[in-house]
Amino acid sequence: MGDVHEAPRPRIAAAQLAQYIGRPVCFVGRVEKIHPTGKLVVLSDGGGCNATVELSEPLDEEISGVLEVVGRVTNQATIMCMSYVQFREDKSPFDLELYNEALKIIHEFPEYFPFG
Amino acid sequence: NTRAIATGNGPPRYRVLMSDGVNTLSSFMLATQLNPLVEEERLSAHCICQVNRFIVNSLKDGRRVVILMDLDVLKTADMVGGTVGNPVPYNEGQGQQRSSAPAANTAPNKLQQQNGSLSAAGSAAPKYHPPSNQFSKASAPSSLKTPGGTQSKVVPIASLNPYQSKWTICARVTQKGQIRTWSNSRGEGKLFSIELVDESGEIRATAFNDQADKFFPLIELNKVYYFTKGNLKTANKQYTAVKNDYEITFTNETSVVPCDDAQHLPSVQFDFVSISDLENTPKDSIVDVIGICKSYEDVTKIVVKASNREVSKRNVHLMDTSGKLVTATLWGNEAEKFDGSRQPVIAIKGARVSDFGGRSLSVLSSSTVVVNPDSPEAFKLRGWFDSEGQLLECASISDVRGGSASGVNTNWKTLYEAKSERLGQGDKADYFSCVGTIVHLRKENCMYQACPSQDCNKKVIDQQNGLYRCEKCDREFPNFKYRMMLLVTIADSLDYQWVTCFQESAEFILGQSATFLGELKEKNEQAFEEVFQNANFNTYEFKIRVKLETYNDESRIKATALDVKPVNYREYSKRLITSIRRNAQLG
């Protein structure tokens, strides 16, 4: 599934997962829960909705805070994670609500924010 | 018949002969605000009119005069065509009670003397109960009894003149100034002034020295009092915008008594100008404004050089539905006791517009500041602000220099807007903030040798003997300090701009001190160049001053960076989102 990284992956909010089934996406959210197996993580987005992220291999490190996940949306509207990045919040906190606002604009004006 | 009565100064006063079909009476005076009716010939002999409001005045010789405050011309003279009925002159002192015959709409008023209250024709009842004019000893429901049981006749403010010394007016205090003291070659003293309003007009009153002490604590803004006996003199129009030819000076015979029945008197009248319109208001004009106090600064004390006195001042920032913000300066007592918590609605009457930093307001001693006024505009503002207003990023029309850290009052522009709005091309400098990326730095001549004295940045002349001369300090020094004057080009998505950065801004951009850079330039050229390369293509928030400058007959816009800061992306995003949404709405 390396092709996920070659295709354009729109940023979406949890509410839009259903519309992007089968497609590569980029999702940013705050870590809410980590499954004991380390293979499932629940993230909440700026609008307060949750998304479940599945990992191909269990986590080998502690993760917390805001995460950006790139992966493909499964049929169950979860994200099959290909790669993730932890946002550093040491200098200033990441404003997830503001990110949500930006997401709304991106999707409201697709002519200005074309995805590939 | 109308007859013009010439008065010494001021507008003409018209005396009118009225008839109700049965009697005529010539003691009618037209209030000056109705003068246009005569001048435009709407009110002329034989026309039929309906008197809506009037006041009866008693002259010293016992004669009574009816002042017509408000009347409507029902039928013009040419439509009537002649005298109605066969009226005979009315004899004063005649019969008290007249039966009231409800007249038809077109018939003239029937004068009814019934303890001083009169009824008008048709449906128009006088909204104003005339002050009781006790011409009959019969007990009358007097609308006014001053303490001591004396019956005073309340006259309208419009009728006050220097030739009448015994008068009483019933008026509301619409403005109360602070006590001011003066000291000049003729002595010292103190005074305070107030503005009074009743239905007939307004007038200014001043109390000096002892009267100032006596009345200042008694008289409260917006309350109604009976004012009796004072001196009338011609008004000094320089000091006031009050529309009256005369003004009152309190004497030691003046009395001020609270009045309870005052609903009919107009309260403080405002004529608000929207904050965005202030940009077009000429400076030094007096305006009324209303806005939400979005933020306010702490009170500071400054010394007035002229009088060497310390004065408190406080800047408050007002915003209204136009989305524009203006800074208003409060002084003295008002500055000290101001409480801007919870973002109240502030209404200011009679503030002066100044062109400081664009446009700002100064509250004068003659202004009135009302916090959370009880008026429909205030409620509208409150509602608007609580729902959308507080999210609005507002543009300030009065620049706040180095003020709020939150940037609430910063004037954000894109470089394109700065150029298209021709900022800096007026006679004064303009200030704005923008987010820009450095795309070029000029490393040649980015530093100069400056005078090493503290606070002196003048370029020194190399005497070539190991000494450097500063013309400003008129001294020679064995050393100098390097000072930066860096020319950079910054760009945003739409435009670019050359900006000069001095010491602090330049050192920030380059990330090195001027001294270190000076050394680097002399010793390690490559490292020096690297500093500049690293500085390139960084994005910052710039606070810029633009001004048109003329040098050898050539005028050019010069931009200087006053402050360079890292971009606050959160605020920047919010501004962009607001801007996008706003533009989307405009379609």
Query: What CATH code is carried by the domain that includes residue B304?
Result: 2.40.50.140
Judged by CB atoms closer than 8 Å, whether chains meet at A105 and B573 is answered as no
Contacts of B570 in chain A (CB under 8 A): 92, 95, 98
Contacts of B577 in chain A (CB under 8 A): 98, 101-102, 105
Give the Å distances, CA to CA, from B114 to B97, B100, B117, B128, B494: 6, 10, 5, 15, 79
pLDDT of residue B74: 74
Domain boundary pick from B39, B70, B88: B88
pLDDT of residue B237: 67
Angle in degrees, CA B247, B251, B253, rounded to 5: 125
Closest chain A CA to residue B573: A98
Closest chain B CA to residue A95: B570
Average pLDDT, integer, range A75-103: 89
Using only C-alpha atoms, chain A has a radius of gyration, in whole angstroms, of 14
Q: For chain B, give the percent of residues with pLDDT over 70.
A: 74
Closest chain B CA to residue A104: B577
B523 touches A: beta carbon within 8 Å = no
Domain that residue A73 falls in: 11-88+95-101
Residues B427 and B558 placed together within one structural domain of the fold? yes
Chain A interface, mutation test: which of B581, B582, B583, B585, most A Cβ atoms within 10 Å?
Answer: B581
pLDDT of residue B263: 61
Q: Is the pLDDT of residue B438 over 90?
A: yes
Least confident among B59-68, B159-168, B378-387, B502-511: B59-68
Any domain includes A42: yes
pLDDT of residue B534: 92
Residues B386 and B420 placed together within one structural domain of the fold? no
Closest chain B CA to residue A99: B573
Q: pLDDT band for position B268 (50/70/90)?
A: low
Q: Is the pLDDT of residue B95 over 70?
A: no
Q: For chain A, what is the domain count?
A: 1
B573 touches A: beta carbon within 8 Å = yes
Q: Is the pLDDT of residue B267 over 80?
A: no
pLDDT of residue B152: 60
Any domain includes A41: yes
Q: pLDDT band for position A75 (50/70/90)?
A: very high
Least confident among A33-42, B46-55, B445-454: B46-55
B574 touches A: beta carbon within 8 Å = yes
Any domain includes B324: yes
Domain boundary pick from B258, B286, B306: B258
A109 touches B: beta carbon within 8 Å = yes
Contact B369, B347 (CB under 8 A): yes
Residues B348 and B391 placed together within one structural domain of the fold? yes
Q: pLDDT band for position B122 (50/70/90)?
A: very low
Residues B27 and B81 placed together within one structural domain of the fold? yes
Q: For chain B, what is the domain count?
A: 4
Domain boundary pick from B258, B287, B317: B258
Query: What CATH code is carried by the domain that includes residue A69?
Result: 2.40.50.140
B85, two tokens: 């009925």
Residues B540 and B450 placed together within one structural domain of the fold? yes
ipTM (interface predicted TM): 0.85
B580 touches A: beta carbon within 8 Å = yes
Closest chain A CA to residue B578: A101
Any domain includes A72: yes
pLDDT in tens, B468-486: 888 888 888 888 888 889 9
Residues B572 and B425 placed together within one structural domain of the fold? yes
pLDDT in tens, B145-154: 334 334 467 8
Residue found by looking up tokens 């000893």 in the block: B137
Contacts of A108 in chain B (CB under 8 A): 584
Q: Which of A98, A105, A108 sits opposite B570 (nearest CB)?
A: A98
Q: Is the pLDDT of residue B130 over 90?
A: no
Residue found by looking up tokens 């293979």 in the block: A39
Any domain includes A112: no
A to B CB pairs, distance under 8 Å: 17
Domain that residue B555 falls in: 415-578
Q: pLDDT band for position A115 (50/70/90)?
A: confident
Judged by CB atoms closer than 8 Å, whether chains meet at B570 and A102 is answered as no
Residues B564 and B425 placed together within one structural domain of the fold? yes
Judged by CB atoms closer than 8 Å, whether chains meet at A105 and B574 is answered as no
Instruction: In whole angstroms, give the CA distance from residue B204 to residue B116.
Output: 29
Instruction: In whole angstroms, give the CA distance from residue B32 to residue B151.
Output: 27
A96 touches B: beta carbon within 8 Å = no
Judged by CB atoms closer than 8 Å, whether chains meet at A98 and B580 is answered as no
Nearest CA-CA distance, residue A105 and chain B, Å: 8
Average pLDDT, integer, range B512-529: 87
Give the Å distances, CA to CA, from A40 to A1, A23, A81, B137: 19, 19, 10, 100
- If one compares B476 and B121, the residue with the highest pLDDT of the two is B476
pLDDT of residue B149: 38
Any domain includes A108: no
Instruction: In whole angstroms, give the CA distance from residue B534 to residue B528.
Output: 10
Residues B291 and B392 placed together within one structural domain of the fold? yes
Residues B392 and B438 placed together within one structural domain of the fold? no
Q: Is the pLDDT of residue B437 over 90?
A: yes
Nearest alpha carbon to residue B394 among B286, B292, B287: B292
Q: pLDDT band for position B396 (50/70/90)?
A: low
Any domain includes B370: yes
